[in-house]
């Protein structure tokens, strides 16, 4: 997935809007926030593009697989909560993933509540994730590597507050 260039409003435009509307904010706040979003979007797209190209696993599928990783099985609702999406979104994703000739998940009826299904990773999914996770961590680290430890800790504390 090639990164689509996004054009942010210039600081002059932000300043002009600020001045014309007599708004109470610092122009640098808006500029910083927009640049944080753009940087995050670009980094995320690049990181997940590597997984998609090498393994044909989209960002959404990877998040679903990682949500199941280390768990025995989860209901659609539990999976939706972990992924911060709706149960309907998970249901559609699961259906599509099960349509694959070699599905990375399996589904069974929940014996505690027969109205719900339990979703778990296939053995193949575990193998693929064991290969992807170190690569994924390496790719994430490549974005942070230019910062020294002190800068990383400072940035982290600023972002958490």
Q: What is the pLDDT of residues 63-83, one digit of tens each?
A: 999 999 988 899 999 999 999
pLDDT of residue 6: 75
CB atoms within 10 A of CB 111: 7
pLDDT reading at 3 higher than 60: no
- 19 or 63, which is more confident: 63
Answer whether residue 94 shows pLDDT above 50.
Answer: yes
Give the predicted TM-score (pTM) of the model. 0.81
Mean pLDDT of 76-104: 97
Q: Is 55 buried (19+), middle (13-18) or exposed (0-12) by CB count in 10 A? A: middle
Residue 42 · residue 3 · CB < 8 Å: yes
Give the helix/strand (H/E) hosting 126.
helix 123-144
pLDDT band at residue 15 using 50, 70 and 90 as cut-offs: confident
pLDDT at 113 over 80: yes
Write down the architecture of domain 27-160 according to CATH. Orthogonal Bundle (1.10)
């Amino acid at each position: 997935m090639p990164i689509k260039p996004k054009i942010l409003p210039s600081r002059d435009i932000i300043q002009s809007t600020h001045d014309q509307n007599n708004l109470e904010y610092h122009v640098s706040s808006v500029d910083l926030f927009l640049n944080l979003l753009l940087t995050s979007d670009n980094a995320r797209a690049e990181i997940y593009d590597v997984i998609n190209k090498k393994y044909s696993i989209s960002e959404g599928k990877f998040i679903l697989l990682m949500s199941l990783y280390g768990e025995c099985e989860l209901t659609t609702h539990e999976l939706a909560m972990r992924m911060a999406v709706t149960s309907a979104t998970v249901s559609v994703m699961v259906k599509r993933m099960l349509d694959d000739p070699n599905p990375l998940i399996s589904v069974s009826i929940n014996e505690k509540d027969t109205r719900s299904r339990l979703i778990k990773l296939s053995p193949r999914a575990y193998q693929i994730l064991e290969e992807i996770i170190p690569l994924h961590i390496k790719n994430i680290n490549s974005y942070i590597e230019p910062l020294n430890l002190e800068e990383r800790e400072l940035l982290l504390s600023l972002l958490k507050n």
